[in-house]
Amino acid sequence: MSKSAVVIVDGLDCFAEDFEKIEISGESVKSAEFEECSFISCDFSETLWRSCRFIDCHFKNCNMSVMRLTDSKLSGCTFESSKMLGIDWTMCDWKSLLTNDLMKFYKCILNDSNFYGISMDGVEMKECSAKELDLRLGSFKNADFSGSDFKGSLFENTHLEYANFSDASNTHIDLKNNYLQGTRFSRYEALYLLESMGIVLVD
């Protein structure tokens, strides 16, 4: 049962509202706008957000798996301890935003999601399960990926300059086909990257 007095419907325009335990799994919402809103323990799995806008919003303990963000805009949003499997982030409208403030993911499950060709410089993706992501041709300069698990994720012609992979795991990144100037890796992961190029390390 929802604890929010506001019902999420088409065309809704909200500022600084708190939404708790909203369940609209599989439903469709069009042209709604949310600014500085909080979403706690909501179920948005398989929900279609069409031409919606989320600015400086906070999501915590939400199920957002396979939700669709067709032509929707996101800026400055924080996602914490949320399940976000199989999201195609390329469906968002990243180009028409006047500002594109940093996106933050903390302790989220992001597996099987598509970030192909997206520019998300400065993104924070900390202590996340980031398995099987498609990060090819994207730009993630100055990103913070610390503590995340990238098992099976794809990196190709990806801009990772000055990104932080400290304490990250399974970062199978081809040093020849990505941009890695100033990129930080933990010692073990750095050794693995060198070995993957056929470099023999000796004591």
Quote the tokens at residue 66. Answer: 């396979």
- pLDDT tens digits for 40-93? 999 999 999 999 999 999 999 999 999 999 999 999 999 999 999 999 999 999
Q: String of b and e for 62-73 (b: at least 16 CB within 10 Å)?
A: bbbbbbbbeebb
Band of residue 116 on the pLDDT scale cut at 50, 70, 90: very high
pLDDT of residue 1: 38
Mean pLDDT for all residues in the chain: 91
Amino acid at 140: F
Task: Assign domain 110-203 one CATH number from 3.20.20.70, 3.40.50.410, 2.160.20.80, 3.40.50.2300.
Answer: 2.160.20.80
pTM metric for this prediction: 0.90
Show me where the domains of the chain are located: 110-203
What is the rounded CA–CA span in Å between residue 175 and residue 73?
Answer: 33
Residues contacting residue 141 through CB under 8 Å, at least 6 positions apart: 121, 122, 159, 160, 161, 162, 163
